[in-house]
Structure 1
Amino acid sequence: MGYQINAKGWCILMGILSISIIYVNASSVERVEGNVYIDGKVGIAEIDENFICATLDWWPPEKCDYGTCAWDHASLLNLDLSNPILFNAIRAFSPLKIRLGGSLQDKVIYEDSKLPCNQFKNKPSEMFGFTPGCLPMKRWDELNAFFKKTGPLIVFGLNALTGRIYNPDGSASGAWDPSNAESLIRYTVERGYPIHGWELGNELSGSGVGTRVAANQYASDLITLNHRLIEIYKDSGHKPLVIAPGGFFDAHWFSEFLNKTQNNNLDVITHHIYNLGPGVDPHLIESILNPSILDQEAATFKHLQEVLESSGNPAVSWVGEAGGAYNSGRNHVTNAFVFSFWYLDQLGMASKYNTKTYCRQTLIGGNYGLLNTTTFVPNPDYYSALLWHRLMGKTVLSVNFAGTKNIRAYAHCSKLSKGITLLFINLSGNTTVQSNVVYNGTYERNETGNVRSEYHLTAKDGELQSQVMLLNGDILTVSSSGEIPPFTPLHVNSSEPIVIGPFSIVFVHMPFTLLPACQ
């Protein structure tokens, strides 16, 4: 029986490799051998059990970039919560972290009896081109009813600009006025709506986007928020995480902020990533496929960890928002198969530096959503995220790949077993790689398991800008009722090398490999 499974898996695997190079002249495909070296003695980092996170934003349909209006009805204020695909897409993670926030969050008023509840309107002279908007409590009730059914862990981004003065130099000064935020928090607690974390502000750190707030003032405001949360949640038995600043990493600003939020005032420090530049960049795909450019973001992760460790602050780091290419991304790039190369590489890289959670911009909305903005049909990155969530465990292993610079390789203890899961990303369109697995250190092989499970992801017709992803040669698509498809692996003889086709992504679950780090 084992031989039948393995032979069948090998035949299907060869078919996948053929599919993945349809657009390449077969004679131009080079076969390269390589080794992936895994140190399984101890883990090098640890992520949250629910590492995958996605955002929901505030942008109205009138939000446009480069002549394209890509947001439609994907705002927290107008998203169709009755859509079955949206429902099933969130439920499939059980749970998915969802961060509610974005550029306009510092212009959102929460409906109460003291303030009018007006909606966002276009006004070019205003910061981000819109007037302040309002979250009606009726809509907040609707969102929470939806969250109760779908089960996500909710992080809410609070307006951090209330009460401040805008200065001619572009900064905002003065203390944060927490009264309106407090009204929302109390309303939320009174109705028993679970919140995983409250995050203060969006992109106000360092040089800021739109405006900025000094680190010492921000730290004081964060402490104010924490004290209010302690008081409001004193009878609930559980206080949500206190999170900030949700901005771009600036070493000096972050250092000062961490040093002034000691004594457990801050639980999570968040930073944002748009390292590929503007969505309009005509060289965006070239950047995604360039290993040297992908490598550059490692410096940010490393530096942030150094700043955290030197501060002595017990807070952990998250990527609070990452869309790769700013200004809503780029259609048929940041919502296409090619973007999974960047996205999964980011997940792997962030994990190595003890990043506990990674929030993708967006779940839906713009040109970088995990779901199509108008049809709600999953884009390729949705399936990449879900596979990661189901296969990659908390403990991160040290990995090195030798053979070609176009292979990105990561390994974690598996979520499915006491074994391991590998992730390979092949950035080359004309190279098939055969990789052996080499263990640095003692490992034990489970003799009852002689096969591994492989999940090969490729683009339909080999077209990198396709929004259709294949798993082991079969199209991934929702059912007529909006159900997320199952992920059926290939079963391959464990003695065979792992084959990574051109422009492909491969997850490999190896349940028989029992490493000390994973026990």
Structure 2
Amino acid sequence: MDLKCIFSLAILVSQISLSSTQNVNVVIQGATSIGETDDNFVCVTLDWWPTEKCNYNQSFNPLRIKVGGSLQDQVVYEVGEVKNCPNFMKNKDSLFGFSQGCLPMERWDELNKFFNQTGVKVTFGLNALLERNRSQIEKGLWFGDWPSQNARDFMKYTISRGYKVDSYEFGNQLSGAGMGASVEVEQYGKDIVVLKNLVKELHPDPKTQAKVLGPSGYYDEKWFNSFLEVSGHDVVDGVIYHIYNLGPGDDPNMITKSQDPSYLNQVAQTYKGVLNIVNKFKPQSGAWVSEFGGALHGGAKDLSPTFADGFWYLDQLGMASTYNHKAFCSALLWHRLIGSTILAVTQESNPNLRVYAHCAKKKPGISIIFINLLNDSSFNITLSNYEHQSHNLRSTDVAKPNFEFRGSKDREEYHLAVLAGNIQGQIVLLNDVPMVPTETFDIPAMEPKLVNASTPISITAHSIVYVTIRDFQAPAYA
């Protein structure tokens, strides 16, 4: 067998404290990738909520938008036989405290004008509870076959207007025990086959055919496996699920959880479980996290709108990508700098320094994100090159440094910190400049700091740093 020459990048990190200096060795293997993300890896959800509930929004371009969310299984579409089109009304006896609502086609036209102007990809969440019956025996269970006529009429209208829907999501949080409502796995699997056949009928050209996604709920290993067995091969294009791993938004320990590496690592078991299912059933589009809010029930007021929210969020973006997830819904610099090819990273020492690496987006080189969860320690980072020869280099093999990395081009660095050191503040500093909207309410320019490649990378306490090295030759992106 031919020898395989593996080039990697080692990062030597010194943690400086009053008591000691700890050296942390991080290795980025640049020879081969460990996975690929979708071009629209970062996306947002346009949730169905009436004005009484809406309390947040987010936007950047380009991206994927998922239309749906909590109330999507209570939305009918004003097309075909549907003539009465009521608004959502508060109703404590209904799912999530709101009555059934309706999407007028005039409103759908307006949304598509926005979609076309911004160039987004659209994932549309269909109502999977329509005309089902609520069980009087088992709380939260809904039963009966899914009638597809309203969805058919909606799709036909969408096609007739030339609107582009990249994918259809079947229901919201109906898997396992569900969230307020659930459907038995055999019934859900049978119904998603009906949806797939409908999509194939209305989109006969495989090149333009919308994807079918499911189950869009919390991961339940037994339920997910049974679902894919029932639905069969070539039905589900992407396995999608939700993660809210920080728990309820009113948890007083929320801010502590978001900076605890042991707690953040727990969700890796979910990523691994979904990846195993994807490898077993091989859906075309792999695994997607279609909702990831961290905190349940609209977020956490002391975390979600603050700088501290970036610690867990960016850490989860990095972690999900290493488990070969294709899309991650709901990070502007990430979207601009981080390419789709994922590189393996190993670190043996400090769990409070989170490091993820990808090939750079569109240009040569690699991009690295460093997240410092510590509030009292900084890191000085120097780079070394690795060259390791082996018949079969495994991810657990440890390469040995043989020369210091000496790049000839300046590094591009983006240092994100918070004003006055308050991580629960809302004004973010980029390279010491406050990031505030322009006079026209546009996102301000986000330019890197160019740093001599021979100097260490400085990661201050409670900061997030993106670094792009243009002259690092990683064969994985060649």
- TM-score scaled to structure 2, two decimals? 0.89
Separation in 1 of the partners of 2:328 and 2:466? 19
- Kindly indicate whether the alpha-carbon contact (under 8 Å) linking 1:262 and 1:313 is maintained by their aligned counterparts in 2: no
Separation in 1 of the partners of 2:381 and 2:241? 35
Separation in 2 of the partners of 1:447 and 1:305? 37
Q: After superposition, what is the alpha-carbon deviation per residue over 1:241-283, rounded to whole angstroms, capped at 9, x for unaligned? A: 1111110000011001112333311111101000101000011
- Aligned CA distance change for structure 1 residues 280 and 255 (closer, same or farther; 3 Å): same
Of residues 486, 492, 497, the one that matches 2:445 is 486
Match of 1:320 in 2: 290
Q: After superposition, what is the alpha-carbon deviation per residue over 1:35-64, rounded to whole angstroms, capped at 9, x for unaligned? A: 32111121111101221101111112333x
Say which structure is richer in helix. 1
3-state SS, counterpart of residue 192 of structure 1 = coil
Separation in 1 of the partners of 2:37 and 2:369? 16
- Kindly indicate whether the alpha-carbon contact (under 8 Å) linking 2:80 and 2:150 is maintained by their aligned counterparts in 1: no
- Aligned CA distance change for structure 1 residues 448 and 510 (closer, same or farther; 3 Å): closer
Match of 1:126 in 2: 94
- Aligned CA distance change for structure 1 residues 349 and 216 (closer, same or farther; 3 Å): same
Match of 2:152 in 1: 182
Match of 2:332 in 1: 386
Q: After superposition, what is the alpha-carbon deviation per residue over 1:63-87, rounded to whole angstroms, capped at 9, x for unaligned? A: 3xxxxxxx2596xxxxxxxxxxx7x
Match of 2:49 in 1: 59
- Aligned CA distance change for structure 1 residues 403 and 164 (closer, same or farther; 3 Å): same
Deviates more, 1:27-36 or 1:261-270: 27-36
**Superposed counterparts of 1:348-367, under 5 Å:** 348-360=318-330
- Aligned CA distance change for structure 1 residues 278 and 214 (closer, same or farther; 3 Å): same
For the pair 1:474 / 2:420, whether they are aligned, the reply is no
Separation in 2 of the partners of 1:175 and 1:157? 18
> Quick one: which amino acid aligns to residue 460 of structure 2?
G
For the pair 1:415 / 2:361, whether they are aligned, the reply is yes
Match of 2:474 in 1: 515
- Aligned CA distance change for structure 1 residues 446 and 227 (closer, same or farther; 3 Å): farther
> Quick one: which amino acid aligns to residue 491 of structure 1?
L
> Quick one: which amino acid aligns to residue 113 of structure 2?
A
Give the Å deviation of 1:496: 2.0
3-state SS, counterpart of residue 439 of structure 2 = coil
Separation in 2 of the partners of 1:324 and 1:345? 12
Deviates more, 1:230-239 or 1:486-495: 230-239
Separation in 2 of the partners of 1:198 and 1:29? 56
Give the Å deviation of 1:311: 3.1
Q: After superposition, what is the alpha-carbon deviation per residue over 1:75-103, rounded to whole angstroms, capped at 9, x for unaligned? A: xxxxxxxxxxx7xx43xx3x210111111
- Aligned CA distance change for structure 1 residues 30 and 498 (closer, same or farther; 3 Å): farther
Give the Å deviation of 1:330: 1.4
Separation in 2 of the partners of 1:471 and 1:172? 49
Match of 2:128 in 1: 160
> Quick one: which amino acid aligns to residue 426 of structure 2?
Q
Identity %: 41
Match of 1:40 in 2: 30
Give the Å deviation of 1:234: 2.4
**Superposed counterparts of 1:85-124, under 5 Å:** 89-90=59-60, 93=61, 95-115=62-82, 116-124=84-92
Match of 2:107 in 1: 139
Give the Å deviation of 1:310: 2.5
For the pair 1:504 / 2:458, whether they are aligned, the reply is no
Please list every run of 5 or more consecutive structure 1 residues that lacks an aligned counterpart in the other structure. Answer: 1-25, 64-70, 75-85, 361-384
Give the Å deviation of 1:149: 0.8
- TM-score scaled to structure 1, two decimals? 0.82
Deviates more, 1:479-488 or 1:335-344: 479-488
Match of 1:456 in 2: 415
> Quick one: which amino acid aligns to residue 101 of structure 2?
G
> Quick one: which amino acid aligns to residue 110 of structure 1?
Y
- Kindly indicate whether the alpha-carbon contact (under 8 Å) linking 1:37 and 1:438 is maintained by their aligned counterparts in 2: no
RCO higher in 1 or 2 (8 Å CA, sep ≥ 6)?
Answer: 1
For the pair 1:289 / 2:259, whether they are aligned, the reply is yes
Match of 2:373 in 1: 427
- Aligned CA distance change for structure 1 residues 251 and 409 (closer, same or farther; 3 Å): same
**Superposed counterparts of 1:220-231, under 5 Å:** 220-231=190-201
Number of aligned residue pairs? 447
Give the Å deviation of 1:129: 0.5
